[in-house]
Every structure is written in structure tokens, then in C-alpha cells.
């Protein structure tokens, strides 16, 4: 684990360029990250984390966190505006994620992974989202959905084949949603009919993240419609499989550099050996992966909101109106204090749910709370930051309006806010 962190740090030192020294357009002020800095307990073992504050990290976690921060500021930040404008992820960013070991954070080192923890994945997603949520969601899906599903349910042969590719060069994409299967995801109509030693998939999918550059698709299709949702099965489908068609990326409000495409399956033949896990257990795998994935979305929304806040505070400390800094007006101070408290609460909810996962304790309610709250406050925080920056915050010359646009999806994907509230309520009902 230490070696993996050192490898990440060593890779980050190869990056060129200096952190900006002033607030200028899309550049990131270097001094604004103090608020979200966390302490390290350098001699702390993983088993000792339960007795220390949630924002105290192991040495390895802190090393990777700092390495990702440098990578995001130096390599991603200069390209964010262009990628947003062109609705396209720069290939160098994807390559950089692989080179930095960020596309296989929890994957065993024997498959080329970093061999780190789920909590480390959360920290990485948060740091990336402080600079660009589009890059963060790519990393999030790869680690909390794709790699996790194959790692948990794949055969030794599937893991050796696909995890090795997913940690080094291949992007994965999770295919569940359909036109008639959004929040009611198990109402999917895509079929997988058995024919000898392979399955034939027919149907379509919508809102598939990373589809434009994915090399592997984890496709949920019903292998036995008579069984209802208990017929849903997960298939590993390679990009070049005949009959798989990737549609034009959606023209979205936010996360514009993250491709979101429709897919169609026309007699797509998938070998029986490419069934992930057991036939008819796809719905269980989807539920389990999305429960953990929601913590990743919480981290994304938290990082996005924190990044916007970090960018805005130096501006209101320097902007002078009526002979004094606008930060010195008590009404604005109270707004800033309120937002800072919301950010801290979201961080603690997110970190706590991630630590629960690592401890093997129940986490579904806490994951929904983290995802719900972080998504809701991301919209509020980014809106407030635009208010505080005034006219310049409303322009595309500065990244604040992009943070605002990117935040909206948080209350929609991987379970809407209402779905999260329903999940929380069901848990409370069961507890009492």
C-alpha cells in the first residue's frame, strides 16, 4: 500500500507547471484549500481509525490525496474550460488517470491496481471534483461500479482478463437505465435470450456515462422475463462486439466533458463465459453496487461544492465596495458561515458512510443520507457562490457558473433525492 502511494507521488513529480499565485480567470488560487485540509496520523493503522476524527487519515491515504490534488491542479485544471466548451474529455486526461493509478484504486496489485481502500477512492473522487466533476465521475464509475462488480463477482479468468485492462488502458461503462427504466430501474426491457453456449442481447439503454470512450460495457439484461426482475443478469460486453451501437453523446447542461450516450443492441452475441456472477442475480449486483456508488456521488458533489467555495472566498476577501471588503459585511459573513457548516456536515456524512463500508457494517441508510445531503447542498453552495461573486460569477470567464451547472445532476443520477429519502425512511421504519 505504501509502495502504491509512493508510486503515485513519484508520478506526480513528473508533472510540469507551477500552481498559480493569484486569482485569475479559471486558474486555481493555491491558498484557498486550507479550509478542506485534513490532518494525518502518520503512525495510524487502519484498525485504529475508529477512535480518531473522521478527517484524520493514514499516511498512505494522505499521500495519495496530495498526489491527486497536484495532478488535478497541474494537469486537469488548464483543460477544464476547453473540455466543457467542446463537450469532450481530453485524451491526455484519461491517459493521466491510468498513469497515476487512479483507474484501479481498490484493484489488487496482481492485476495492476493500486491495492488501496474504498475510502481512498472517495478521497480521490473528492479531490478530482474540486477541479472538474466530469473527470471525477469517470474515475468514480470505474472504481465504485465497474472494478468493484468484477472484483466481487467475476471468475478468476474474468478478473485476470478485464481487471488488468481496466487498470491500464480500458474505460468501463455501466449500462442499466432505459427509456422506461429510470428510478424504476428493474422495469428494464433489454433481453438476453439463451442460444447454445451464448446469449443474444436485444434492446436499448439511455444515459450511459463514459460510453463514448468505454472499451467494456457491463450490461444489465433480462435472461428470463417470466421471472420479472429476478431474471436480470449482468453481461460483460466488449466495445467491438457486432451489433452494439453507441449513439451520439447528449448535449447536457453540466458534466459536459463526460460523455453520456444511448446504446442499442441488435442481436449482440455474448459468450456464456461473459456472464458476470450468476444468471438472474443482476438485480442484486446492481443494488449492491449502487448503494456503494452513492457514496462516490456524495464525494463528487462534496468536492465540487468545496472547489467552488475555495475559488470564491479569496474573491470576496479582495473585492471592495463602500470602502471595505465585501467579506466584512456581517450579512455575507453569516452566509459564508452557513455554507461552510453545510460543507462540513456533508463531508462528515460522506466520510462516515465510507468508513462504515470498510468496517463491514450496515451503511445503506448512511450512504443515502450522504448522497442526498451532499447533492442538495452542492446546488445551494454553488448558487450562493455566484451570488457572492456577482456579475463575474455569472460569466464563463470564471469556473463558478460551471460548478453550478455540474451540481444539478447530483440530485438526479444514481438515485434521485426522493429515492434517497424513501430509502432513508424505509431504514428508519425497520429500525423502530
How much is the average pLDDT of 360-380? 98
Each residue of 201-225: pLDDT tens digit?
Answer: 999 999 999 999 999 999 999 999 9
Q: What is the pLDDT of residue 186?
A: 84
Q: Which residues pair with 201 in a beta bridge?
A: 192, 268
Greatest Cα pair distance, the chain, in angstroms, is: 80
Residue 46 CB contacts under 8 Å (≥ 6 apart), including other chains: 58, 117, 358
How much is the average pLDDT of 314-326? 96
Look up the pTM and report it. 0.90
Q: Is the per-residue pLDDT at 157 higher than 80?
A: yes
Give the three-class secondary structure for 148: helix
Residue 384 CB contacts under 8 Å (≥ 6 apart), including other chains: 335, 339
Neighbours of 213 (CB within 10 A): 17
How much is the average pLDDT of 107-129? 97
C-alpha cell at position 238: 466488449
Give the three-class secondary structure for 40: strand
Q: Is the per-residue pLDDT at 394 higher than 60?
A: yes
Strands 275-276 and 324-325: unpaired
Each residue of 125-142: pLDDT tens digit?
Answer: 999 999 999 999 999 999
Question: What torsion, rounded to 10 degrees, do the Cα atoms 273, 278, 281, 287 define?
Answer: -80
Q: Count the alpha carbons within 13 Å of 237 in the hemisphere toward its beta carbon.
A: 33
Q: Which residues pair with 236 in a beta bridge?
A: 218
Q: Is the per-residue pLDDT at 232 higher than 60?
A: yes
Active site residue 414: yes
E strand spans, 272-388: 275-276, 320-321, 324-325
From 116, 82, 119, 122, select the one nearest 101 (Cα to Cα): 116
C-alpha cell at position 201: 442481447
The catalytically annotated residue of 61, 366, 401, 414 is 414
C-alpha cell at position 102: 487512479
Amino acid at each position: 500500500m505504501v509502495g502504491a502511494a509512493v508510486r503515485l507521488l513519484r508520478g506526480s513529480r513528473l508533472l510540469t507547471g507551477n500552481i498559480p499565485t493569484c486569482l485569475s480567470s479559471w486558474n486555481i488560487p493555491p491558498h484557498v484549500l486550507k479550509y478542506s485540509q485534513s490532518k494525518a496520523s502518520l503512525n495510524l493503522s487502519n484498525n485504529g481509525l475508529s477512535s480518531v476524527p473522521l478527517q484524520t487519515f493514514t499516511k498512505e491515504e494522505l499521500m495519495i490525496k496530495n498526489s491527486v490534488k497536484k495532478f488535478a491542479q497541474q494537469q486537469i485544471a488548464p483543460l477544464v474550460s476547453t473540455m466543457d466548451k467542446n463537450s469532450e474529455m481530453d485524451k491526455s486526461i484519461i491517459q493521466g488517470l491510468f498513469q497515476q493509478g487512479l483507474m484501479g484504486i481498490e484493484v489488487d496489485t496482481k492485476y495492476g491496481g493500486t491495492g488501496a481502500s474504498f475510502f481512498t477512492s472517495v478521497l480521490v473522487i473528492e479531490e478530482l471534483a474540486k477541479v472538474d466533476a466530469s473527470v471525477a465521475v469517470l474515475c468514480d464509475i470505474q472504481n465504485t461500479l465497474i472494478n468493484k462488480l468484477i472484483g466481487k463477482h467475476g471468475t478468476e479468468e474474468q478478473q485476470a482478463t478485464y481487471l488488468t485492462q481496466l487498470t491500464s488502458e480500458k474505460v468501463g461503462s455501466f449500462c442499466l437505465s432505459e427509456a422506461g427504466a429510470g428510478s424504476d430501474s428493474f422495469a428494464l426491457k433489454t433481453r438476453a435470450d439463451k442460444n447454445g453456449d451464448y446469449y443474444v442481447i436485444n434492446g436499448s439503454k439511455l444515459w450511459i456515462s463514459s460510453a463514448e470512450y468505454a472499451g467494456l460495457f457491463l450490461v444489465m439484461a433480462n435472461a428470463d422475463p417470466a421471472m420479472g426482475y429476478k431474471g436480470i443478469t449482468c453481461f460483460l460486453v466488449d466495445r467491438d462486439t457486432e451489433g452494439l451501437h453507441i449513439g451520439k453523446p447528449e448535449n447536457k447542461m453540466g458534466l459536459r466533458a463526460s460523455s453520456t450516450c444511448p446504446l442499442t443492441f441488435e442481436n449482440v452475441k455474448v459468450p456464456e463465459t461473459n456472464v458476470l456472477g450468476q444468471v438472474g442475480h443482476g438485480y442484486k449486483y446492481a443494488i449492491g453496487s449502487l448503494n456503494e456508488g452513492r457514496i462516490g456521488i456524495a464525494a463528487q458533489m462534496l468536492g465540487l461544492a468545496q472547489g467552488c467555495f475555495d475559488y470564491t472566498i479569496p474573491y470576496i476577501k479582495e473585492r471592495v465596495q463602500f470602502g471595505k471588503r465585501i467579506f466584512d459585511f456581517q450579512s455575507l459573513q453569516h452566509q459564508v458561515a452557513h455554507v461552510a457548516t453545510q460543507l462540513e456536515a456533508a463531508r462528515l456524512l460522506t466520510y462516515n458512510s465510507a468508513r462504515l463500508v470498510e468496517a463491514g457494517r450496515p451503511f445503506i441508510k448512511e450512504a443515502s443520507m450522504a448522497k442526498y445531503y451532499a447533492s442538495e447542498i452542492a446546488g445551494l453552495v454553488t448558487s450562493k457562490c455566484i451570488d457572492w461573486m456577482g456579475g463575474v460569477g455569472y460569466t464563463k470567464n470564471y469556473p463558478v457558473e460551471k460548478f453550478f451547472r455540474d451540481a444539478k445532476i447530483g440530485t438526479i443520477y444514481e438515485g434521485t433525492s426522493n429515492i434517497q429519502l424513501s430509502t432513508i425512511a424505509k431504514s428508519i421504519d425497520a429500525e423502530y
